[in-house]
Chain A
C-alpha cells in the first residue's frame, strides 16, 4: 500500500465550479497534512496546511481532514483557469515530534476549462 494516494486525474472542471481533490494516507500516527500546487516546470508551492479534524478555509480553498478515515481533501471554490496545475498531497513523517520529511502523493492534475 502506498503511503499517500491520490487519483492522478486529470480532473476537468468548468470555470466557476467547485474542484474536489482527495487523498488517503496509510500511517495512522501522521499529524500534519499539506496541499501543494505545482505548475508545469515549477517547484511545489504550499497552499494549505491542516493538523486537526474538520475544515480549514483560506480564501477559495478549503482543506478537510478526517483522521479516523485517514482522509484529507482540498476543495477549490469558483475554480479559475489559473488553478490548472498538479495538486500534491503531503504528509509529514514524524521524528517523534512533529518535525519530519514530507511523503508526497503522485499528485492530481486539475484542468479548469474556460
Chain B
C-alpha cells in the first residue's frame, strides 16, 4: 500500500513568512508524529497526534510552531514568522494505535529560510 506522503518536498521561504507543511499518513494509522532533522542536531520530536488530538506537544520549539490534524488523517504543521534556525528537514511518521507501534516515515520536506 501507499506509504506516508509529504508535501512540498522542498520549500524555500523568506525570513518572516509563514509556511505550511502537509503530511498524509498510511491509511489506517491513527498515530501521527512530526520530527525535525537539522545538520548536527539529529532527529528531534516535535508533536504527536492520536486521532485528531495532540496529547504531546512538548517538542514544539516555540509558539511560532503549531499543528493540526483533521478527520484523523492529514496533518498540517505551520511555522509562523519563519527564522533561519527553522531551516531543516521536517519529517512525518505514522503508526498503528496498537503494538508493535512501529513508525514509518515519509520522505520529508526540506525547508530553507533565506
Contacts and interface: CB of A to CB of B under 8 A. Distances in A.
Interface of A: 32, 34, 36, 42-46, 49, 51, 88, 92, 95, 98-107
A104 B36 CA distance: 11
Given A43-B105, A46-B103, A49-B100, A102 B45 contact: yes
B3 to A, nearest CB: 10
Contact of A51 (B59, B100, B108): B100
Nearest to A2: B42
B109 to A, nearest CB: 10
16 contacts: A32-B100, A36-B105, A43-B107, A46-B102, A88-B43, A95-B55, A99-B31, A99-B95, A99-B101, A100-B48, A101-B33, A101-B35, A101-B59, A104-B42, A104-B43, A107-B42
Interface string B70-114: 000000000000000000010101010101111111111000000
B14 interface: no
Interface in B53-69: 55-56, 59
Contact of A103 (B45, B95, B105): B45
A62 B82 CA distance: 43
Interface residues of B, number: 27
A44 B102 contact: no
B52 interface: no
Nearest to B110: A41
B7 interface: no
A112 B52 CA distance: 43
B50 A99 contact: yes
B101 A98 contact: yes
Contact of B56 (A36, A42, A92, A101): A101
B1 to A, nearest CB: 15
Nearest to B43: A104
Contacts of B93: 102
